[in-house]
Chain A
Amino acid sequence: MSSNSRYSNPGPSSPRVAKAFWATLKRDLKIAIRHRGELANPLIFFLLVITMVPLGVSPSPKTLALLAPGMLWVVALLATLLSLDALFRSDFDDGTLEQLLLSPQSSYINVMAKVFVHWLTTGVPLTLVAPLLGVMMSLPEAGYIPLLLSLLLGTGSLSLIGAIGAALTVSLRKGGLLLSLIVMPLYVPVLIFGASGVRAAIEGFAYNTQLAVLGSFLALAIIAAPLAIAGALKMSVNN
């Protein structure tokens, strides 16, 4: 059974929302696993930029510890940004995207599944690698758990917000730089609360406020972003 037949019309009587979600999810995960090399790219970028920091600023642990929370967050954000351009690209080129939007399931579900896979393949790996890079940046011990938690929550919002930009620029040949330009200002709140949560923990304060705010950003993004993404994809596909 080819993966495409999963999109066949299940009939108007069966909404099969969960099934549609899983079908898209499985298909995208399969594709992502087939292109393992590309999966590693954001991580390598993350590692590379973090390596540049001591070379460019100072290798002294004190300075690095001061920079660590913000630097790790900024670079994780940039790594996500770089991975976004490919989010809808191949599906747009081979026409899958059009099929997906024409399918009887609500495009909200399909879009959610695609973005979820993006998060699983970039946000989660970045989060898991971050503590390792925290060691290289001499991140104080108290910072690791909040770094993990804030990135786990924050990268979800980053994927969702970024997907809006990716959907808007997918039909443009040279969308990459433009994508960063339009998405980065929207990332400001996530960055502020993510980095400050880690900093607060290092300085010995409670960081649950920041995590709660990140969680509410994620909730808002889950509700609203897929609508904008679906609208933008329809715009890109229709011409």
Chain B
Amino acid sequence: MAWQWFHRLGSPKWFYEKTTAWMPWLLSISLLIIISVSIWALGFAPMDAKQGNSYRIMYLHVPTSIVAMAAYYVMAIAGGIGIIWKMKLSNMVMKVAAPIGAVLTALALFTGAVWGKPTWGTYWVWDARITSVLILLFLYLGVIALQEAFSDQEMADKASAILSLVGTVNIPIIYKSVDWWFTLHQPASIKMTSSSIASEMLYPLLAMIIGFYLFFTWALLSATRSEILQREIKTKWVKQALLQKA
């Protein structure tokens, strides 16, 4: 009995019907958090003594980087479940996680680069963290390209699941390597100061991270729901669900 929910999860129909009620709530709560923290970060947060106003970008950059990274693990775990238990739904989650993760990674990269201009005087620095995020973006693009390349959906799912699992094993190694490489080449002028962050700045940052996680959850569910409709279009309940609204 305890595993019933797990088996139910395998049923796209059950999942679709169950999540319908959550969707508006998740979206509005996450957007509420993101927008209100953004307003606070833009207008009300105290100015950073060293970086001036440019540090207001941190409230976007840090949460997107964290969630972009987590999205890769979500994708790989979903792919693993799809391979081991042959769960349809899990493959769909894996497929839709890749583009969302890629967009978030691109946003993290963009905000990081723009933040670099006022702080380091240049848009692009081969800093360890930015380089790692760039490679993460490449990993995402690889999974998306592989997914697109197969005309057979089942093969595409298996292939991208294997690739994302391989990527997961690699990510810690890549991060450690890039870190090590950076300490080797780090020019003295752009050392990152990791001064302790004031709690007045920390709590909004944590709130923003939660907001982005909620938003990612919503995005993942929403994209999965669309994917379900696409893949199950031949079934009766999908036809009913779609034609009712039309």
List residues of A whose CB falls within 8 A of some B CB: 164, 168-169, 171-172, 174-175, 178, 181-182, 184-186, 188-189, 192-193, 196, 217, 224, 228, 231-232, 235-236, 239
Contacts and interface: CB of A to CB of B under 8 A. Distances in A.
B166 A164 contact: yes
A41 B176 CA distance: 34
Given A182-B145, A185-B174, A188-B178, 8 more contacts: A168-B162, A172-B150, A182-B143, A182-B146, A185-B135, A193-B177, A196-B181, A217-B173
A224 B167 CA distance: 12
A54 B174 CA distance: 31
B149 A169 contact: yes
A181 B135 contact: no
11 contacts: A164-B163, A168-B159, A168-B162, A182-B143, A182-B163, A184-B138, A185-B135, A188-B177, A189-B177, A192-B177, A231-B158
A7 to B, nearest CB: 25
Nearest to A172: B149
Interface string B152-169: 101100110011011101
Interface residues of B, number: 31
A239 B152 contact: yes
Nearest to B177: A189
B162 A164 contact: yes
Chain A facing B: main interface SS:
helix
Q: Which of B149, B167, B184 has the most CB of A within 10 A?
A: B149
A188 B166 contact: no
A174 B150 CA distance: 11
B155 A235 contact: yes
Interface in B34-63: none
A175 B149 CA distance: 8
Interface of B: 83, 135, 138-139, 141-143, 145-146, 149-150, 152, 154-155, 158-159, 162-163, 165-167, 169-170, 173-174, 176-178, 180-181, 184
B141 A235 contact: no
Contact of A188 (B135, B145, B150, B162): B135
Nearest to A209: B180
B24 to A, nearest CB: 37
A186 B170 contact: yes
A90 to B, nearest CB: 20
Contact of B145 (A181, A189, A232): A181
A210 to B, nearest CB: 10
Given A188-B177, A193-B177, A224-B169, A235 B159 contact: yes
B162 A231 contact: yes
A181 B187 CA distance: 30
A224 to B, nearest CB: 6
A185 B142 contact: yes
A18 B173 CA distance: 32
